[in-house]
Amino acid sequence: MIELFGSGPSGETVKAVTIRAGGLTARILTWGATLQSARLAGVAHDLTLGSDDFADYLGDLRHHGSLIGPVVNRLTDAQAVIRGVQRQFEVNYNGRHTLHSGAVGCHLQNWQIQSASENACDLTLELPDGAGGFPGRRQISARFEISAPACLTMTITAATDAETILNFANHSYWNLDGTQTWAGHQLKIAAEAYLPNDADFKPTGEVAPVANTPMDFRQARAIIPGAPEMDNCLVLSRAQAPLRDVLWLTGTSGVTMTVATTEPGIQIYDQRGVQRRGAEAYEGIAVEAQGWPDAPNQPHFPQITVKPGAPLTQITRWKFAR
């Protein structure tokens, strides 16, 4: 089902596509290829944090459920060397760095509906060469598909006509209990290492074992707001891998979410700030499967370079149960 959702800042028609199969229903917005809603049969509340007011997605909710790209996360000093050329990007974070690709980010674009059916939709977006400092005319597609009993799969495909950097991530916030905060949720992540941050919440370059640190989630445990603060990338592998389960989140209500991905990292952000109207801090926990952040400025990290003739494919899957 396709419905009108709002009007963009330049008069674009923003639509919402509802897809369903088994016990799961999801609503995808063309603005930002945003996962606006995820509802599980028998559960009274939405599992992800969104809004029915499009205006919210132009402000504090611009990262809620949206597809971040062409490069998610931070780029040190708003720059990177691409094919031997120093590229400069928009400075939009702490007066020095680039966050989520700046104003040209995919989350601030109105995608086109390529196709839609009962259980799937395909969205497309073209990013022009040089937009925001990123080279290459990039053709991007995002497919959202639900399969029974309650599984949502997102497949991102991106091709370029010039060497560039690409690293996408869905930026949904999750609260499986529908409560004011995610306190009491259990979290497990199949990660032996993580990337410590500096004061600007970007990687220091160190790859640190999780053992004997607060970032050790190898065994499921209850998570507590602020203990520790979380805005780190957990290391799943040193390269893309076949789709595999990497993260398990369980609410006190008994609702569970299992995340699978092809990506080598998964960023966890605790939402320590208030973003939705009338909400509290720590309302939802962001789970962002992605390549390692700031990779172009960290030569020993797995790189995110994409060349013509070799499109990038990234897959993330969420499986729900109660």
The residue-averaged pLDDT of 132-138 equals 98
| Dist. CA 129–CA 150, nearest whole Å | 38
By percentage, how much of the chain surpasses pLDDT 70? 100
Please tell me whether residue 206 adopts helix, strand or coil conformation: coil
**Residue 274: predicted pLDDT:** 82
| Dist. CA 200–CA 73, nearest whole Å | 12
**Residue 319: predicted pLDDT:** 98
Closest-CA residue to 203 (of 288, 299, 295) = 295
- CB–CB of 238/302 below 8 Å? yes
What's the residue count for the chain?
322
The residue-averaged pLDDT of 182-203 equals 97
What is the CATH number for 29? 2.70.98.10
- CB–CB of 191/234 below 8 Å? yes
**Strand partners of residue 197:** 203
Give 166's pLDDT tier (boundaries 50, 70, 90).
Answer: very high
Question: For residue 211, with 0-12 CB atoms within 10 Å meaning exposed, 13-18 middle and 19 or more buried, which class applies?
Answer: exposed
Tens-place pLDDT, residues 14-27 = 999 999 999 999 99
Tens-place pLDDT, residues 228-271 = 999 999 999 999 999 999 999 999 999 999 999 999 999 999 99
| DSSP notation for 51-114 | -S-GGGGGTTTTTSS-EE-SB-SEEGGGEEEETTEEEE----BTTTBEETTGGG-GGGSB-EEE
Task: Give the residue numbers spanning the domain of 194.
Answer: 2-321
Give yes or no for a cis peptide into 308 (omega within 30° of 0).
Answer: no
Give 276's pLDDT tier (boundaries 50, 70, 90).
Answer: confident
Question: For residue 292, with 0-12 CB atoms within 10 Å meaning exposed, 13-18 middle and 19 or more buried, which class applies?
Answer: buried
Question: How many independent structural domains does the chain possess?
Answer: 1
52: left (phi over 0), alpha (psi -120 to 50) or beta: alpha
| Dist. CA 235–CA 220, nearest whole Å | 17
| Dist. CA 221–CA 227, nearest whole Å | 12
Q: Give buried/exposed letters for 19-28 (b at 16+ CB in 10 A, else e).
A: bbbebbbbbb
Please tell me whether residue 280 adopts helix, strand or coil conformation: coil
Q: Specify the amino acid at residue 145.
A: E
User: pTM, whole model, 2 decimals?
Assistant: 0.97
| Dist. CA 322–CA 54, nearest whole Å | 30
Give 294's pLDDT tier (boundaries 50, 70, 90).
Answer: very high
Give 136's pLDDT tier (boundaries 50, 70, 90).
Answer: very high
Tens-place pLDDT, residues 40-85 = 999 999 999 999 999 999 999 999 999 999 999 999 999 999 999 9
Q: Specify the amino acid at residue 59.
A: G
DSSP label at residue 258: E
Closest-CA residue to 30 (of 94, 154, 131, 113) = 113
**Residue 172: predicted pLDDT:** 98
Please tell me whether residue 295 adopts helix, strand or coil conformation: helix
